[in-house]
Amino acid sequence: MVGCFACFKPPAGEEEEEAPLPSTSRRRGRSLRLSRSSTRAAGEGGGDAAAAAASSNVVVDSSSRARAFTYGELSAATDNFRAECLLGEGGFGRVYRGRLESGQVVAVKQLDRDGAQGNREFVVEVMMLSLLHHPNLVNLVGFCADGEQRLLVYEYMALGSLADHLLLEHNAATAAAAEGQQQPQRAPLSWETRMRVALGAARGLEYLHETANPPVIYRDLKSSNVLLDDALCPKLSDFGLAKLGPVGDRSPRVMGTYGYCAPEYVRAGTLTVKTDVYSFGVLLLELVTGRRAVDSARPAAEQLLVAWARPMLRDSKRYRELADPLLREDFPERDLKQAVAVAAMCLQDEASARPLMSDAAMTLEYLATEAAAAAASAPPPSS
């Protein structure tokens, strides 16, 4: 599993004050009162001491959709956090499937109290998802700050993460080949689905960068943070590393996931919205190639996706070589080339040369529309 870089720890213990609201949330009539410590946690990367002090000061007003749960309510919802309800585990802690008294199915993320980043992530995520709302951002149902317990409650995303689908497809294909079968046990994501997922992720980032005021730098875009509902609609999740502007800030220590971080961020800690654009380029490349951003199971020269793809990205005549073999060439070559060209622009070494997410989304909207029309007009598969 690819881990996140460690976070730095700024001073804590400053007095409480009202945090400025993103303008999009103010128009909706929602507010969130945070201590100055928690604002620093969002603005500078946070620290465990500051976040621990701030977490108890998080107050969401009655117009917000986020609900404060007791630990007992969430324990009952997950059948006392039974192993059978476990959906997965990450840097924050374990995620369980639960059912509230209302009947709503939810995902409950429980803070690992021994983790290095959990309290900070809790504060930042409650703040961000209470203020920011978009169809391509996961919805925060509520939270629990009961004693030492820290839990987050999200809408349930039935189809898991994009990483699950890409990885399981190739695992199935490998197993089928080993057993002499002709095809994997389940169909891979179609070209149309991949373009729809790319467009949804792009729109989520566009909202964070160009609609929210101040802009939000997501900082941890990766395939495991793109969740899919039962209609394969993508939603960005895990906002624990997100940061409010300003543009051009410098982070004392890099926070993010290896394989997705922009070169200027790794070298000098320079953090802008274009840092996210680079990460989106990696994600789009994953969708096109079916490969993981970092895959230690591959030969040494192919383990880092961007390094492996770079020679092909520099030569448009080689774009076709990047297509996932599991697609079986079931895509328009022109559309493949346009998708790869978008990825190549997003992966420019110079941040200023990368496009805005609105520009990338515009191209991907065209590609997704074309793919949907082609899928609708295709003859049904023969039985």
Residues identified as active-site:
220
Peptide bond into 299 cis (omega under 30): no
